Structure 1
């Protein structure tokens, strides 16, 4: 079931002592619904107060409570713990009031440790972006994060989007996590018009100048980069060129996407997803999409994990008549791999299913941070992630 935000839910779930502090932080310290005698679930006076505020002030409550709500879950708690560790406050999770729900703990962090809260928001956002486009043909170097380089990237992204009537302004923020350098770009998107009640209760049209989101995740040791952007392939390639030239001082050549992910070896019935015992993880192919090399016909296969002895290779055998159409005539263009993480010190047990599609799309970057490294290890071990190719045609800018 998907989680649905509502102000009433947050007012109901967050302890009153934290709500009183929250109202004060937002500049409403004079509001007193008799906090001392207010019942823990008696939120109607608070909701009525917010509802009766001028639109701009009510909107501030809405935005702040939504931010707390986003971290009021297990993955949010994980993001807070990781943010605290990054800021040399590893003991912070133990300092949280243990009797509080995740809603109370998220609000407690927002009020007492705003920097941890802001960092956790960023980490949580990274972990929930999906379908990153990956390429491995970048140089292995230290990215330039100087103000001049960041400004150059902002200008380059704005220029790229200018012909589409967006990107007038662009802001880029940076962050480093687990040896991966993240660059968050927020160029202006298309403006939208909406109706809104002003502070006097009049319905008026307003212009909303939204930004779109672009994220570059550059791994300097591997010379690889993953890009997130809801844009066509041509525009993503343009963004990658902007990043490479402005941040890496490197002009990208023609990209050969087929070398990023390769999955044909997985159709071999003798191929097994072998893992190291010390990693305490198992893996199983649960879905596969095949495409015929000649006629382009596609076949989707899936495994019913509730049936003993089922496997993707048995599904291939039962579905494709190999005597008429040998497996050599089929390409694997997408797979889903189910990982099971067994109990291990420093890592919670759990299950994760990741998807990989030819030529360069994967959702690994959006999985929980403590699992990403181990998943990526095996994608390389099994030759799914092909590693870094020779960057033909690429060259240092100015060379």
Structure 2
């Protein structure tokens, strides 16, 4: 779930000395209004920010947005892990700071490259949304992350997009972490006309060629490839096949294009909209079983089996065995769920129940059930936003909207 951003709220969480350090490092000139600021006066601080020159004000807001993105338990852990990967342990330094926003800004000031890498990797660690697609069945096949291999992939993807009149320039970032390969490609999009005010306050129009993203996340241990690509299904498969050709040096799994995918991580939150639909005959829904693990140690999992007669019992068990202060919900992953749905079949009067299992990324036992029950279960999963089964074959029209990993 996206976190709401409000500049004033972020400024409230940031120590004044860290903000001043950012201004100094960024060569942003300040006046007497900044010299008179005192800690805790958020209203005056916000006004001082608004009174900065346009370019400086925008650089501060960019910082506020990036810091806010990482101001969570998962974000701070990712920052510490990335700095440690680069040879420095900042756990104690970060722990002394008052709150996650301050910790994120401190890392940005003192370890800028690690901050931006951690932000990318954290965004790619939980791929959700229409343009993320999962391919399974690679069976632990090794990858080739040599400069020659990724260079060939970069050129091949750029050539492919040039058929659409974009992709004339393409940059690539590569990261290897914990047995996984992350590739972020940035390609030129179509030229757009930007309308805005220049430094003199005049309204001007000027051409802008933004970049759009293609992202690959290959997990060798799981044998999976997560991929972020705009376009229809055939186009996404072509982009995937280029990765298989140049990085894996093998053909894609034959069954992969037809596999469905199930997004279960949202179910870690008891407010996730798994709700009845009486108008369509769905009178009740119960989550009877959750298999839960940590994003940091995915091989270790716990199964919670609830009392089906007690509403929300599985979440009461989750809170009991995984206290939220020790196990932040954005660090937990749901890999299997058992649902019970109470429904009334069309033309019938008596209520029936349907119990079925769903496992991430692409397994469900509904396929072994009668057609009417399978239809009920799949309709519920689609309505809840859990099932993605390739029904989005419509074209993207090539307008690359901003991605998750920018």
TM (norm. structure 1) is 0.65
RMSD (Å), alpha carbons: 4.0
Asked if 1 retains the 8 angstrom alpha-carbon contact of 2:260 and 2:387, the reply is: no
Shift of 1:118: 2.1
Question: Corresponding residue for 2:38?
Answer: 39
Question: Corresponding residue for 2:142?
Answer: 142
Does the residue aligned with 1:199 lie in a helix, a strand or coil? coil
Higher relative contact order (CA 8 A, sep 6+): 1
Asked if 2 retains the 8 angstrom alpha-carbon contact of 1:139 and 1:250, the reply is: no
**For the residues of structure 2 that align with 1:235 and 1:305, how far apart are their CA atoms?**
47
Question: Corresponding residue for 1:9?
Answer: 9
Does the residue aligned with 2:191 lie in a helix, a strand or coil? strand
Deviations 1:350-397 (CA, angstroms, capped at 9, x unpaired): xxx994544799xxxxxxxxxxxxxxxxxxxxxxxxxxxxxxxxxxxx
**For the residues of structure 2 that align with 1:188 and 1:276, how far apart are their CA atoms?**
40
The correspondence of residues 129-278 of structure 1 with structure 2, limited to 5 A, is: 129-131=127-129, 132-138=132-138, 140-252=140-252, 255-258=255-258
Distance 1:334 1:71, change over 3 A: farther
**For the residues of structure 2 that align with 1:193 and 1:276, how far apart are their CA atoms?**
48
Deviations 1:285-315 (CA, angstroms, capped at 9, x unpaired): 9xxxxxxxxxxxxxxxxx9972679x73463
**For the residues of structure 1 that align with 2:139 and 2:239, how far apart are their CA atoms?**
16
Shift of 1:53: 4.2
What are the ranges of 5 or more consecutive residues in structure 2 without an aligned counterpart? 263-287, 294-298, 315-337, 345-350, 355-367, 393-406
Asked if 2 retains the 8 angstrom alpha-carbon contact of 1:135 and 1:260, the reply is: no
The correspondence of residues 1-399 of structure 1 with structure 2, limited to 5 A, is: 3-28=3-28, 31=31, 33=33, 35=35, 38-43=37-42, 46-90=45-89, 92-96=90-94, 98=96, 100-131=98-129, 132-138=132-138, 140-252=140-252, 255-258=255-258, 279=300, 281-283=302-304, 306=311, 312-313=339-340, 315=342, 318-319=351-352, 327-329=369-371, 331=374, 333=378, 355=386, 357-358=388-389
**For the residues of structure 1 that align with 2:168 and 2:150, how far apart are their CA atoms?**
16
Shift of 1:251: 4.1
**For the residues of structure 1 that align with 2:234 and 2:122, how far apart are their CA atoms?**
28
Q: How many residues were matched structurally? A: 313
**For the residues of structure 1 that align with 2:2 and 2:153, how far apart are their CA atoms?**
37
Shift of 1:148: 2.7
